[in-house]
Structure 1
Amino acid sequence: MTTPFTIGIDAHKSTHTLVALDSAGKVCGERTVRAVSEGHAEALRWALKFGTDLEWAVEDCRGYTRLLEQDLLAANQRVIRVPLILMAHTRKAARTPGKSDAIDATAVARAAQRERDLPVAFHDEKTWQLKLLMDRRDDLVTQRVAFTNRLIQRLHLLDPARARPRDLTRASNRHPLGEYLSTRPGLEAELASEELADIDRFSRNIDALTKSIGDHVREHGSTLTHIPGCAEITAARFISAVANISRFRNEAAFARYVGVAPQPEWSGLSRGRMQLSRGGNRQLNSALHTIAVVQIRLDGPGRAYYLRRIEEGDTKAGARRCLKRKISRTVYTRLRADYRRATETGRAPNHHRD
């Protein structure tokens, strides 16, 4: 059934621009509100002029839309997340030239009307906290890599003949390097010591976050860690990104979300040819790749399946992609089972926070 009105939103830090479209895609109204809870309440009052059967379409950029989504979901509104690439394609195909907040909001709404299987916003406190911890850990890991690369370059300037330092994520490798730098004179050595201290601080914070994330995963009751190759950090990656597995209508939709569903690439005589998808959530795709690589190295069902695909004529990369799809089915099944068990025991989250 088609929703009578779709409210498209172009979100910014300070303001949100809203455009109301009827079921035929005709623009029926426009409004700009402040990006605060009072402005969101004003937007809701304005939208209710068009009726109570509404859907809200927002660009999938939660840095700008998280509070907006929370306020709308608290008011029992249906919120659709539109991927940025869909909105961009819709705007290019529009008859209205140029760019403005209203044009962008209209593009968001029309993309939501055209694609009826887009993800619905979902928020629960536990998965949101896990996402915050994962984001913080990812930021620290990125900074540690940057400082490590800078330190390696500085060490080369100090002594080109010295061997490159071993894995600096380990404290046992950082201590000898610190002792070496303390014996070297000059500003380069002093700066290198400071960078090594920063790496040490990042590593301690990362270790603390890793422990906290593991505690959250165990508290969540996830069975993803029972999958060979899926450690607690990988499980947390899936839990925090998926949030609500019931929003996927089937396993194929989940496979598209994680980027392991091939897409058609044929015309005429090439009928049936498929192409590797480069879309989907790349972090989850990377997590599946990690699990696949571990399973290939282990002596188990994953390795047996991988070797059988190669014997049947697949390349190593092709066999690995097939294994990733197989693993995605297992991940989907376990997420569904975990959610069903949480629902039966009354531990399922309320669907109004992320």
Structure 2
Amino acid sequence: MHVVGIDGHKKTHTLVAVDPLGRRVSEVTVAATPAGHAQAIKWFTQFGRVLLAIEDCRHLTRRFEADLLVAGHEVVRVHTRLMAGARRSARERGKSDPIDAEAVARVALREPDLPRASLAGPARDVKLLADHRRRLVRSRTAAANKLRWFLHEIDPELPVPSRGLRRLCVFDALAAALADHAGVVVEIARDLVVECRRLTEQINALEARLRKLVEVLAPSLLAIPGCGVLSAAVLIGETAGANRFKSKDAYARFTGTAPIPVWSSNKIRVRLNRGGNRAINHALHMIAVTQVRRGGEGADYFAKQLARGKTPKEAVRLLRRRISDRVFRALLADEGAAQPTTAPSDLPVRLAA
């Protein structure tokens, strides 16, 4: 079976076909438009059944991936770091779109377990909403920090509760207090109060929408102690389908909870994995901390590790790995119970996160 490597860009996509031995057979460059996508599909059908390998730049290739999947083709994603070794070992030196596409194809030949692209379902909606909420929270934090300094300048004795600039009642009280003052600083402070209130209303609306989605998609995930709606939304959106991982160990490597081996000869050693998906890793850490604080099974496991001589940091890391395995099982159970809800009209333009 031939493999077609795809190097995607904003305006064009370059495709290179290689045979089972990795030798370049043919290449073509098409426009990054629906007509260009149709031209590419027609071009590689000359090779019969092919495996399509595409550089993992979904912000550039999401629509192309969708068109390929709708046409019934198998698509795998190649991370950019895997291409570097393929380029260095190639006979042709330099860097160009055909060279990159050929490197993508050769990586797909040697790596049997590359992630496979799939059409999007509700999980991508959860990811988009969670990411949008995170951006709004950052904007509100920046506006609130500036507002606090202006409020201190206007009236140092004006009471502003800790973490109060996220409650609508506090914004109402600040608006009433600022009505008795005048000046440019006060005008800016009023604008910041309005902005913080608007952002808070948007954040609250997104959280309510996420709650409805998560309660339907992941009841088993929410049943895990310490896992709230926002943590569950991150886990669902960033995982993008637990069934694409062959085991809980593969999922642990993805989440950064599996240690990295650094040993030689007879002494086996491992070190902390600082890679993996950091958003999921953070969500797992917050679940672990919550379990330790609230007591129960997680706290008992934490205490057992401390009794064995582990430091608190090491005990939390072990608990985090334990939670990663449980999250993986919960996601598999929820995905197995879920019914496909993707509308046919959405298929050409929506892809899994």
Query: Structure 1 residues 232 and 305, CA, compared in 2 at 3 Å: closer, same or farther?
Result: same
Report the counterpart of residue 183 of structure 1 in structure 2: 180
Residues in 1 aligned to 2:106 and 2:186: alpha-carbon distance in whole angstroms: 58
Report the counterpart of residue 169 of structure 1 in structure 2: 166
AA paired with 1:110? R
The structure 1 residue matched to 2:141, chosen from 142, 145, 150, is: 145
Residues in 1 aligned to 2:316 and 2:330: alpha-carbon distance in whole angstroms: 21
Q: What does the per-residue CA deviation read over 1:116-158, in whole Å, with 9 as the maximum and x for residues that have no partner?
A: 2121112233223222222222222222223223334444555
Q: Is the 8 A contact 2:215 2:222 kept in 1?
A: no
Residues in 2 aligned to 1:163 and 1:82: alpha-carbon distance in whole angstroms: 54
The structure 1 residue matched to 2:70, chosen from 71, 74, 83, is: 74
Cα drift, residue 162 of structure 1: 6.8
Q: Does 1:20 align with 2:56?
A: no
AA paired with 2:206? L
The structure 2 residue matched to 1:8, chosen from 5, 8, 17, is: 5
SS at match of 1:188: helix
Residues in 2 aligned to 1:327 and 1:221: alpha-carbon distance in whole angstroms: 16
Residues in 2 aligned to 1:161 and 1:65: alpha-carbon distance in whole angstroms: 55
Report the counterpart of residue 305 of structure 1 in structure 2: 301
Residues in 2 aligned to 1:64 and 1:158: alpha-carbon distance in whole angstroms: 48
Q: Mind listing any 5+ residue stretches in structure 1 that lack a counterpart? A: none
Cα drift, residue 349 of structure 1: 5.5
Q: 1 or 2 for the larger relative contact order (CA 8 Å, sep ≥6)?
A: 2
CA-based RMSD of the aligned residues comes to 2.4
Q: Is the 8 A contact 2:121 2:340 kept in 1?
A: no
Question: What percent of counterpart residues are identical?
Answer: 41
Q: What does the per-residue CA deviation read over 1:85-113, in whole Å, with 9 as the maximum and x for residues that have no partner?
A: 32345445545433322222223223333
Report the counterpart of residue 337 of structure 2 in structure 1: 341
Q: Does 1:287 align with 2:287?
A: no
AA paired with 1:136? H
Residues in 1 aligned to 2:114 and 2:30: alpha-carbon distance in whole angstroms: 25
Cα drift, residue 159 of structure 1: 6.0
Q: Is the 8 A contact 1:339 1:348 kept in 2?
A: no
Q: Greater CA deviation, 148-157 or 78-87?
A: 148-157
Residues in 1 aligned to 2:316 and 2:202: alpha-carbon distance in whole angstroms: 34
Residues in 1 aligned to 2:180 and 2:147: alpha-carbon distance in whole angstroms: 16
Q: Is the 8 A contact 1:295 1:303 kept in 2?
A: yes
AA paired with 2:35? E
Residues in 1 aligned to 2:98 and 2:155: alpha-carbon distance in whole angstroms: 59
Q: Is the 8 A contact 1:260 1:277 kept in 2?
A: yes
Q: What does the per-residue CA deviation read over 1:203-223, in whole Å, with 9 as the maximum and x for residues that have no partner?
A: 101111111111112232531
Residues in 2 aligned to 1:129 and 1:45: alpha-carbon distance in whole angstroms: 32
Q: Is the 8 A contact 1:124 1:349 kept in 2?
A: no
Residues in 1 aligned to 2:97 and 2:150: alpha-carbon distance in whole angstroms: 47
AA paired with 1:245? A
Q: Is the 8 A contact 1:296 1:306 kept in 2?
A: yes
The structure 2 residue matched to 1:237, chosen from 234, 237, 245, is: 234
Report the counterpart of residue 261 of structure 1 in structure 2: 258
Q: What does the per-residue CA deviation read over 1:253-295, in whole Å, with 9 as the maximum and x for residues that have no partner?
A: 11111111111112346x3111111221111111101111100
Residues in 2 aligned to 1:185 and 1:93: alpha-carbon distance in whole angstroms: 70
**How many residue pairs end up in the alignment?**
345
AA paired with 2:9? H
Cα drift, residue 234 of structure 1: 1.6
Q: Mind listing any 5+ residue stretches in structure 2 that lack a counterpart? A: none
Cα drift, residue 181 of structure 1: 3.5
SS at match of 1:135: helix
Report the counterpart of residue 135 of structure 1 in structure 2: 131
AA paired with 1:236? A
Residues in 2 aligned to 1:12 and 1:198: alpha-carbon distance in whole angstroms: 37
Residues in 2 aligned to 1:146 and 1:90: alpha-carbon distance in whole angstroms: 44
The structure 2 residue matched to 1:200, chosen from 197, 201, 216, is: 197
Report the counterpart of residue 110 of structure 2 in structure 1: 114
Query: Structure 1 residues 150 and 62, CA, compared in 2 at 3 Å: closer, same or farther?
Result: farther
Query: Structure 1 residues 180 and 99, CA, compared in 2 at 3 Å: closer, same or farther?
Result: farther
SS at match of 1:183: coil
Report the counterpart of residue 61 of structure 1 in structure 2: 57
Q: TM-score w.r.t. structure 1 length?
A: 0.89
